[in-house]
Structure 1
Amino acid sequence: MTAPARSYLTRVTAALPRRIDRTLVGCVAALSVTGLVLVWAATAGSDDPAEATGFLERQLVHLFIGGTVCLGVASVDYRLPRAYAPVLFVLAAVGLGLVLTPLGAVINGSRSWVVIGGFQVQPGEVAKLALILGVAMLLGEPRDGEFRPTGRDVLFSLAVLAVPLGLIMAQPDLGTGMVLGSVYLAMLALSGAPARWIGGLVACGVAGAFCVWWFGLLKAYQIARFTSFVDPTSDPQGTGYNANQAQIAVGSGGLSGSGLFQGEHTSGQFVPEQHTDFIFTVAGEELGFIGGTVILAMLATVVWRVLRVAVGCEEPYGRLVCVGVATWLCFQTFINIGMTLGIMPITGLPLPFVSYGGTATIANLTAIGLVLGIHARERGYV
């Protein structure tokens, strides 16, 4: 480690609150290490050993960067990230705009990445953070004399949602769009906004989904995913292949699994994208029902601890940030594991803290840093 890096970590560690949520930190750390091992197991069967080692090394770098950012965010007053929320929102919007230019890369039918100098960045992950901070600012800071958000505040927050959501759906990235919508709806519902707004938005969402389907606005590969979800046997060697192989891999693990690096489906690379979107198939096959349950329990504990911080917040802003982070992690976990087990359509969402990924890993750990900072300073542990 270089001298500047050591100096930075020393200053950050000294600035950390004297008390932190050790349960939350421990679960996130355990999930990150588990994910690192599962990524290694998922790629070890590659024909090119250097490729497998490369995934492991890059994920280590992602965790180091994400952990450093997490510590940095947790060590400062949470009002500082709030001040930079508009900047983050603009950066996310610009990044999403660049995705639609020649700098954007199409992967699995979705143009969701920006490739610059060999590095791949997914602006949609940054947009999740930007949305949470932006909506918390607008709905969590009522004007003088007000005790809850007004209709004007809700309209402004809708504009904050509309910009990234519109750009994301233009890619199209239905999974990330669903995450943004669920996060916004949860934050709005718990902000104290008038109930008519919540009911109206739900009705508009249902109507919008119907129109998208009715007028054929979905891409062919998205329609195929939904068709395969409804009837997995309709095209077992085509659109239903991923879902079928995922369920076979998970089911073959039984109670205790085949053992790390011993899974036939994992080592045979039968499940596509098993180090990212389908990482839970590796856990199911090699760690079995017991290992998968432990991972799910740790993820549930992370969401519970974040919600516990939200309940203890006196300021609406901090509470809404925690609600947004908890909804993001919970919804994405449910969709990811659900599509692995065949109870949800395939949407391409990674499993938080476990799946391989640079932008996603750093964004998830940054969100935890926000929660840790709010937890400490709401209770005066500084």
Structure 2
Amino acid sequence: MGTMRGSGRRALLAFFAIACSAGWAPGAAAAANVVNGDFEAGNLSGWHVHQETEAGDWFAYRGTAESISEGNNRPLPQPPQGTFAAAADEAGPDSLILWQDIGLEPNRRHQLALTAYYEAFQKLAIPTPDTLSASEEALGGQVDQQFRIDVMKPTAPLESLAPEDILLTVFQTKAGDPDTMAATRITASLNQFAGQTVRLRFAVAASEDPANNGSHTVLRGGLHAGVDAISISNRPLTPSGQGGSGKLSLGEPRANRRNGTVTLSVHVPVAGRLVAKHSGLLKQASVRATDAGMVKIRLRPTATARKILKRKHRLRAGAALTFAPSEGSPEKATARVVLQLAPRPPRHR
């Protein structure tokens, strides 16, 4: 990864010290509220930083800041929104973790949203077994070059990758992924963790890649990772957590006369799964809704219905719908649809 230029290193390390000194003391997190999630405070207030070797850091930056490593001369990218973003960068091998504990209100729907980006200066790699450590002793000659975002149990060890400690992996690089990812918006539902305190963890591991070059070892590598616009929105559940309150709204069915199917638009109140039950005339179908809004479910005729359609070209049917929300009780509705199938044109000899 190389060494830093003296004046640049002193200036940037001084900047890191100022940025990290604004970190908050552990305590109760604000309910469903990410503190300084857009980093527009110009520092990491509200956040904690863990460094394994102190050869790198997480820090708030503006503009196109200079990298702290001489091993690559690319500046950090412009923050994707606002004036500031947060980035991890290294002058040598390090494991860098940015984290915050957040309380999620009970009986609410919670949606995490963030923007993430990275640039790797050697191929992305995951060691076996997986670890967030960048130390040679832990890696045993392997390379660790990864960026991941997890929702954790707040009582878990900060560097843990144990499945029982990770509630949800929001994003993770893998071996073979592109070396660069431009600013990308990522969302994840946290509904299942309502009423709990969770830990949001951004982790970067960047180890040395020892490459034999004659009689000495060349050190190369490094990983820029950035995050911005981190938020958790929350909305109330349907009344009393019930789904059977007339919240389903059925749109106009649209028949496809070429294949006998019908597409039905349904407005759902929350995230969940909409299922059309199998019947004598319609096959079972389902569609998942990631949020409130309009979904489309395609209804297909059974073999029996197709025989009728080939003779009569038109058939009325009832679609028994069940919507199972992420929280609350299922809601049922019946949609009346008309299947249509155009007659085949006569063959000409």
What TM-score do you get using the length of structure 2 for normalisation? Answer: 0.23
User: Structure 1 or 2: larger helix share?
Assistant: 1
- Structure number, greater radius of gyration: 2
Greater relative contact order (CA < 8 Å, ≥ 6 in sequence): 1
